[in-house]
Structure 1
Amino acid sequence: MAPVLVWCIYCILGIVHSKAGWSISTPEEILGEFGKDVLLPCTFQQPKNDYKGNIEVIWRTKVHFDGPVIFHCVNSASAMSNCSAPSTETSKMSRYSLAGDARQNNLSLLIRKASFEDNDSYFCRVQLEGKGNSWETKRGTNLKVPPFIKQLYISVDRFGDHSVTCEAMGLPLPTIVWVQPQNQNFTVRNSSGNQSVSSTVPAILNETHTCRASNLFGTEERSIHRGVSITIPEGKLKISFMALSGILLGIVILLVIVLIVKHQGSSTKHINVKKSCQNDKDEKPGGIYMNMPKRTV
């Protein structure tokens, strides 16, 4: 009766014994974050402390023993490691790798850039050479990737009205709830797409607006504050931009005209100087002294 009770306790804790000297341990739940790497810990103990043979590592999803294999690694005595992922998708193969050292009884799996499709149950299996020298977790580890708030921003329409929009992603699609401001009766505009949903409410002056996105895998919150600021509505902004562009264009045209007039004035002056010099050369030398009085000695 006592061994059965101990075995049940190990099952509840996620530590399963197959026989004396054998155990494998994994956490019941891991919380990941969308777009970031996540580690699924797995350690084991086996009675052969001086074991030098091959160590085979297998990770499955869905159900233990019969679930689809997502990672397979054989650590041999002749080589440091020889790992392969059975998936035929190259992008999927590169996302899984052995983070632990099988020779140190660590079979932890690293998943790169967690996605919402990674929400699943994961089962770790270790197998040594020889019949019966293997074990796999029965309870597994539940990986949860909660919703991700992609954007939270304040915008102004052409009438000068302020709105705050929250865009969230998740699978299944998350539900967006505005936690703050409280006790406000305003209209909420919602829209949804592929793995994303958005919600827009009026932005209240000097208030903090908190968006909460949640589904069965978790919750995320973000806040934004609308303070006093000088804003230009979208329609007036376009008009202001066109007016500024017209002013700049007028300044450029005026500068071009000034440069042309200045250049023409300089050319006219140069021509007049040349004509004056030419007239001086055309005068007879004797004509200069004819009007001068004669000196007597």
Structure 2
Amino acid sequence: MTVCVLVILSSVIAGVLSANELSMNVSKEVVAWRGQDAILGCSFTHRDQEHYGGTIDVQWRARQSSVKPFFECSFKNISSVSPGDCSAAWFSLHGDPRQGVLSLLIRGVKLMDEGMYFCCVKLDGQLTQMKELKLKVLAKPEILSLSFVNNSAPQRLQCTIEGNPLPNITWLSASRGLLVQQVHTSKIGLYQLTSWVPYDGEDRVTCKAESQVGWAEQAHPPSNSLTIALIAGSVAVFLLLAIGGVVLLLRFRASEQQSTIHENTPAEEDRPLHSSHRPAEDTVELQPVYATVVLPASSEVVTCTPDILYSTVSLH
């Protein structure tokens, strides 16, 4: 009887010692931006890990340690055996459990993924360890909507914002500056706020959200500055093209006129042209030039034979 009790006690003590020799390490807190991948670090060590040929069961749980695992996998601790595919739609192991790595990869984290996680490992279904860690998801402020509500009393501008951490909301009037009175803000979810101010439709008002990780703003009515800029740019381009066309046309006409006008040469200017020198067709046209000749007073009678002189004339 005594021998049996001693055997049982030694087995229990040996089991406790073996269990105590299984240890785990996890990340204290993992911080990730919304939309990015997050790795929840988890690993374990065991004294007989190199010689252990049993199964390794990996489990990950969320929110509470007592809930059903949302991710689990089993491996045979034999290097010659492929661990196989152990992944889900958004989750997969990031590491090899046969090497003591149990980290979890979450693809494209969302705000709802934030919270506590529990990494659990079992060896042959007997030795078990579990540790918890926290995932924090950061999100810059985002204005989901800014709308004019005219079916309530009073009429209002209502702004809905999302972000983590939750941002501070301020209202700015184009004519009155910062609005402090009659600002109503309330929380409508873990990561969303709604805020409104009375609005008569005669002013431009901006909803602005700010936090440690960023800011966002939106105005009502929307700015038409982009439309104005596009119109102004189109008009400027049209004017430049029109001016360029006019300049080219004027230059073309000037060069065309110059090509039909020839400058007088010295020979043509100095020699008299008689009737026999009349220009041929399609050449420079010579026009008759009349001149009055004044002779000095003399008793001699001078007989002049009339003749026609031609000279080149530049027409402008």
When the two structures are superposed, what TM-score results if normalisation uses the length of structure 2? 0.49
* Structure 1 segment 130-149 matched on structure 2, within 5 A: 130=124, 132-137=125-130, 140-149=131-140
| Aligned mates of 1:278, 1:71 — CA distance in 2 | 107
The offset of 1:111, in angstroms, is: 2.8
Q: Which residue of 1 aligns with 2:69?
A: 68
Higher relative contact order (CA 8 A, sep 6+): 1
Whether the 8 Å CA contact 1:123–1:141 is kept in 2: the answer is yes
Q: What's the counterpart of residue 92 of structure 2? A: 96
Distance 2:190 2:44 in 1: 40
CA distance in 2, matches of 1:59, 1:30: 19
Corresponding residue number in structure 2 for 1:21: 18
- Does 2:78 correspond to 1:77? yes
Residue 107 of structure 1 corresponds to 102
TM-superposed CA distance for 1:121, in Å, is 4.1
CA contact (8 A) 1:65 1:136 kept: no
| SS across alignment from 1:254 | helix
Q: Which residue of the partner structure matches residue 160 of structure 1?
A: none
Structure 2, unpaired ranges of 5+: 1-14, 144-158, 171-177, 198-204, 217-221, 263-278, 285-316
Q: Distance in 1 between matches of 2:261 and 2:196?
A: 74
In the alignment, what sits opposite 1:59? 59
Aligned to 1:123: 118
Deviation sequence 1:28-71 (CA, Å, 0-9, x none): 95342233443333333434254142552422324547613424
Q: How many residues align?
A: 219
Partner of 1:5: none
- Sort the Cα spacing of 1:238 and 1:85 in 2 relative to 1 into closer, same or farther, 3 A: same
Aligned mates of 2:113, 2:128 — CA distance in 1: 24
Indicate the residue corresponding to 2:246 in structure 1: 257
Q: Which amino acid aligns with 2:31?
A: G
Q: Determine if contact 2:30/2:40 at 8 Å carries over to the other structure.
A: no
Within a 5 Å distance, the mapping from 1:229-268 to structure 2 comes to 234=223, 239=228, 242-243=231-232, 245-268=234-257
Question: In the alignment, is the contact (CA less than 8 A) between 1:60 and 1:69 conserved in 2?
Answer: yes
Offset at residue 256 of structure 1 (A):
0.4
**Mean CA deviation greater in 188-197 or 105-114:** 188-197
**Residues 260 and 280 of structure 1: is their aligned pair in 2 closer, same or farther, counting only changes over 3 Å?**
closer
Give the direction of change, closer, same or farther, for the CA distance of 1:35–1:73 in structure 2 (3 Å limit).
Answer: farther
Higher radius of gyration, 1 or 2: 2
Alignment partner, residue 48 of structure 2: 48
SS of 2:167's equivalent in the other structure is strand
Using the size of structure 1 for normalisation, the TM-score is: 0.51
Identity of aligned pairs, percent?
18
Cα RMSD after superposing both structures: 5.0
Offset at residue 279 of structure 1 (A): 4.0
| C-alpha separation in 2, matches of 1:255 and 1:143 | 67
For residues 98-118 of structure 1, give each alpha carbon's deviation from its aligned partner in whole angstroms, at most 9, with x where no partner exists: 23x534433233334332232
